[in-house]
Amino acid sequence: MKQSRFTEERIIAILREHEAGSKTGDVCRKHGISSATFYKWKAKYGGLDVSEARRLKILTDENAKLKKRKRCFEVTFLMMS
């Protein structure tokens, strides 16, 4: 998966800038992002603090590792039976 140019802290700062009264188009132009990206971030990180966003990232990564491990075990099990 492609790594983002923006950290969770920076994403939340951009969202807060919008919440402070800046227009969506102005915020997107200033930071070089599309409006689709902005709204995707708003759906994912809207209302979160930086610490909560970090925790979300950790849990998401851990969940992906567990799903990968589960698929590996399933394949191994199918090959053994």
- pTM greater than the 0.75 cutoff: no
Give me the tens of pLDDT residue by residue for the chain, a chain 81 residues long.
Answer: 577 789 989 999 999 999 999 999 999 999 999 999 999 999 999 888 888 988 988 999 999 999 999 999 888 888 886
Q: What is the pLDDT of residue 40?
A: 96
Q: What is the pLDDT of residue 1?
A: 58
Domain boundaries, the chain: 8-80
Q: What is the pLDDT of residue 61?
A: 94
Q: Which amino acid is at 30?
A: K
